Amino acid sequence: MLENIKINQRVLEKLKTKHKVLPDEISECFINRSRGLLEDTRLNHKTEPPTFWFIAETDFGRLLKIVFIEIEGAYEIKTAYEPNKLEVRIYEKYA
C-alpha cells in the first residue's frame, strides 16, 4: 500500500467485511486514476477539509469509488466500494 494512504481500523474493517475491498486495491486505484477528483458537496457529507472522490480501476480491472480527505499530504480513506451506474455517469461527466 502507498505510504501516504491512511485507513483507520474502523474503516478498514468496513472495507473488508461490507465492501470486500483490500488496501492494495485502493493504492492501485490512486496509481491508475486517469481523470480528476470530484468534491462531495452534499450538505450532510460536507467536511473540513473537503471530501473528494474518484473512480478508477484496480490492476485487475475492478472499478472502485474511492472517497477520502487530504490531511497534511496524506489521503485518509473514508470508504471505497464498487460504484453504481449513476456514480459512474456523474464521474464521467464532471471529472
> What pLDDT does 56 receive?
98
Quote the DSSP letter at residue 91: H
Decide if pLDDT at 46 tops 80.
no
Give the Cβ contact number of residue 25 at 10 Å. 21
Give the Cβ contact number of residue 82 at 10 Å. 14
pTM as predicted = 0.94
Decide if pLDDT at 47 tops 90.
no
Looking at residues 79-86, what average pLDDT do you find?
Answer: 98
Which structural domain range is residue 78 located in?
Answer: 5-94
Looking at residues 87-93, what average pLDDT do you find?
Answer: 97
pLDDT digits over 63-76, tens only? 999 999 999 999 99
Q: Is the bond into 83 cis (omega within 30 degrees of 0)?
A: no
* Total domains in the fold of the chain: 1
Three-state SS across 2-53? CCCEECCHHHHHHHHHHHCCCHHHHHHHHHHCCCCCEECCCHHHCCCCCEEE
59 pLDDT tier (thresholds 50, 70, 90): very high
